[in-house]
Amino acid sequence: MQDETLTIDPEHLQRGSSVSPFLPGTKVQYAWDSTSLGYLKTCPRLYAYIMIEGWQSRGDSPHLRFGSEYHSALQHYDQLMAQGAKHADAVHAVVVATLERVADWNPDPATKAGKYKNRATLLELVCNYLEHYRDDHAKTFILPDGKAAVELSFRFELPWGPTPAPSMEAAMEGNVSGQPYMLSGHLDRVVDWNDSLFVLDHKTAMSTISDYYFKQYDLSNQMTLYTLAGRIVLKTPVRGVLISAAQIMLEDHNRFVRGVTYRTEAQLDEWQSDLHYWFTLAETYATQGYWPMNDTSCDKFGGCKFREVCSKAPHVRKHYLASDFTKLEEADRWNPLKSR
């Protein structure tokens, strides 16, 4: 199965496109990333609220913004170093760019999230990381074309697709071409670490980073897709993901710990086989226009943001959605085909 899937050309390293991930005139999603797939697996209703209807919490989430800025800063550094910059110059450029990007960002310091994740803690964490890993043992992999394997947006087709033309309306709109399913995403960096290749992914945490912390990634949709994508993009046996975790400390030195999560060929094959079932389910929900609630997921990961909405009677939920969330225009919604 693996071989069937891995017949990919360099077009996988895509940039800039943002066409719809849904088949024209339908709610059948054909282009998936780990985020949207994660929503579907967690709860079909959560998936529908975000991916189909476009609801987003009001206000900026400090967690999302902080993580995004942290990634951007470290990627900027990796790019500059790959271009031959000196460490000190690269750090300076990264701090300047970060200051410019976060100038308008003022998370509420009265909240726990805002206390841990704000401009000052971001700048400190970025500077600390770059100092801590100045002589990084994880060396950036150099692609066959001589470019450093940093900030790789990937996209590849699977050897099967959604059932064509789910409705007459869709057929009228031209959805008869047999569009295959696509997987897409973004790899921070691919590194050579202890003589093996790994995708490196950055994470930030407010709590202690222990073995238990890293174990959560052994069954992670995101890390499995990243490993698979690493193999496809590089055509080399990437063994898994090196998770570079940073613990933000308010009263002590920030901590940096790395852990590895491995994936075997058999595990990757199983994950792809399971995708058939998940995508079939997604198609069924989309064609029936109904995404059931998975009420065993509501309290996971600190509690679903739609928990308050789902706990209300069905006929009043739309009022709660409208008051607590913003409905994004289609162009602004999460889109797996939108490259960073």
Residues near other proteins, by CB under 8 A? 91-92, 95-97, 99-100, 102-103, 109, 118-121, 123-124, 127-128, 131-132, 250-253
String of DSSP letters for 199-247 = EEEEEEESS---HHHHHGGGG-HHHHHHHHHHHHHH-S---EEEEEEEE
**Closest approach of Cβ 126 to other proteins, in Å?**
9
**Closest approach of Cβ 209 to other proteins, in Å?**
16
Sequence-separated (6 or more) residues with CB below 8 Å from residue 278? 37, 40, 41
Q: Which is nearer to other proteins, 131 or 295 (CB)?
A: 131
Q: Which is nearer to other proteins, 26 or 204 (CB)?
A: 204
E strands, 91-149, are 139-140
**Closest approach of Cβ 272 to other proteins, in Å?**
43
3-state class percentages of the chain: helix first, strand second, coil last, to nearest 5: 45, 20, 35
Q: Which is nearer to other proteins, 97 or 171 (CB)?
A: 97
330, 178 contact by CB (below 8 A) = no
| Residue 261 CB neighbour total at 10 angstroms | 23
DSSP 290: -
**Closest approach of Cβ 93 to other proteins, in Å?**
9
Q: Which is nearer to other proteins, 107 or 185 (CB)?
A: 107
**Closest approach of Cβ 137 to other proteins, in Å?**
18
**Closest approach of Cβ 90 to other proteins, in Å?**
11
320, 308 contact by CB (below 8 A) = yes
Q: Which is nearer to other proteins, 118 or 244 (CB)?
A: 118
Phi, psi of 154 (to 5 degrees): -120, 160
Residue 200 to residues 74, 109, 244, Cα–Cα distance (Å):
12, 31, 7
Residue 50 to residues 298, 305, 321, 334, Cα–Cα distance (Å):
15, 11, 11, 8
**Closest approach of Cβ 75 to other proteins, in Å?**
18
Q: Which is nearer to other proteins, 1 or 99 (CB)?
A: 99
Q: Which is nearer to other proteins, 53 or 136 (CB)?
A: 136
